[in-house]
Amino acid sequence: MDICTLSATDLSRRMAAGQLTARTVMEAFLDRIAALNPGLNAIVSLRPEADLLAEAEAMDRLPRRGWLHGMPLAVKDLVATRGLRTTYGSPLHADFVPEADDLIAARMREAGAIFIGKTNTPEWGQGSHSYNPVHGVTRNPYDLTRTAGGSSGGAGAALAARLVPVADGSDMMGSLRNPAAFCNVYGFRPSWGLVPQDAEGDTFLSTLTTDGPMGRSPEDIAHFLEILAGPNPGTPFGRTAEPYSDLLTTGIKGKRIGWLADWDSAYPVEDGILELCRGALAAFEDLGAIVEPIAAPFPAEDLWDSWTVLRSAITARAKRDLFDDPAKRALTKPETLWEIETGLTRTAADLFRASEIRSRWYATAARLYDRFDALALPSAQVWPFPADWTWPREVAGRAMDSYHRWMEITVPVSLIGLPCLLLPAGFGADGLPMGVQLFGPTGSDARILAMGHAYHRATNWPSQRPPVF
């Protein structure tokens, strides 16, 4: 039995039954990390082996604490972890060791996880390519010359290579959806507020980013989501979690999916992506669902206008000190400085206009869900690109006017905080993975996961084409 290839659900079940010890599991994953991580650079700040084995042995002696009991996990390097180096990909924090966990890290610990290290991310999580001056670049398990995406690129690569059983990600502009697609795994962006923020800074206006689970199956994601989700009394807009892992067997027959393709050509997409993604949705049709092409329901340029205003303003608020302090500015990536500088020009009128556009799109999407159970879009506009790029300057012959314009196809979901499951869609002609965004109305997390579960049982792409080194 290859322990590292077991699903997280099966691994947890076997550990609970006493068929596997935490030490045995830890040894297996550490051996695999030693063999494969040097070529990937997915896991960073790896703790000493002796410390991890001792902690695993201690967990074997303790009463079972939760679904993650004794499992080795690497936490995204944007999440503060008590006693474990957290760099945010920035040289300004290269040696930072937090004294306390962020909320989701605390919830993982409470459920019994053993933190082995961190997963790599872009500097400050900005841009969908995981490279930074502290840890370097994370590479794609399916082609080591290509990017694993970002900002949860280390998580996506580690999952695909079977270096961890599940992983946490975060998503503002596709930051867990893009790497999941590029690495042939699943990623779930929950309804905004289901996985709450920490009670720090602004928690009323900053509603674009959320943490979420990543895994090699929707079942693993459902179990992990039960740990991460649930209100934080110190923050607004909290949502009550459901028993997602018990709600996965909903039937697919008769479900209606609206296929938005490239949003009536508003989003340039590289050759082969639309065809692969539409072909992947045929699995739903084989299960009795109806997939219907639909016209773009809202002007893409309005969505982009709203998004860029809100994103830059939030970034400027959160990171202005990086811009104002010359010493910090010298150690900050140009894309982050550009976001801050742009955000500082936003007026109150700009913010209200952006919010009004956002509100109109939310109402428009709600009417679409009177007709459809879910909507679908490609996960990305490009195939995994060379790892030595910073970002794609051109997509399908169209110049990109910012470092994140090539990720624009994720904005319809992100702008209004809809639940979205990234489905692996298969592989292109050159063997690179791609994925499909399946998203529903606010609060439909259980339904979207159940649809994904049926899709996974019919396709199981992560096991059909495991990465080859």
Q: Among 317, 294, 423, which residue's Cα sits nearest to residue 370?
A: 294
168: which strand partners? 213
216 vs 189: CA distance, rounded Å? 15
CA–CA gap between residue 147 and residue 182 (Å, rounded): 8
What is the DSSP secondary structure assignment for residue 165, as one 8-state letter? S
**Is there a catalytic annotation at residue 151?**
yes
Residue with tokens 């993975």: 433
CA 235/CA 134 separation, integer angstroms: 32
- CA dihedral angle for residue 32, residue 38, residue 41, residue 42, rounded to 10 degrees: 0
Q: What is the sign, positive or negative, of the torsion defined by CA atoms of 337, 330, 406, 266?
A: positive
Residues contacting 81, CB < 8 A, separation 6+: 75, 98, 101, 102, 105, 115, 118
**Is 359 one of the catalytic residues?**
no
- Tracing tokens 């082609």 back to the chain, one arrives at 143
The residue annotated as part of the active site, out of 12, 45, 130, 151, is 151
Amino acid occupying residue 367: R
Nearest to 186 by CA among 232, 149, 221: 221
**Cα(8)–Cα(220) distance, integer angstroms:** 6
Q: Which of 76, 255, 319, 333 is catalytic?
A: 76
Phi, psi of 22 (to 5 degrees): -60, -35
End-to-end CA distance of the chain: 20
CB of 284 within 8 A of CB of 254? no
Tokens of 396: 């399908």
Whole-angstrom CA distances from 391 to 233, 298, 383, 398 are 39, 27, 12, 14
CA nearest to 424, candidates 410, 438, 412 = 438
255 is catalytic: no
Catalytic residue among 12, 90, 128, 175: 175
What residues are labeled active site?
76, 151, 175
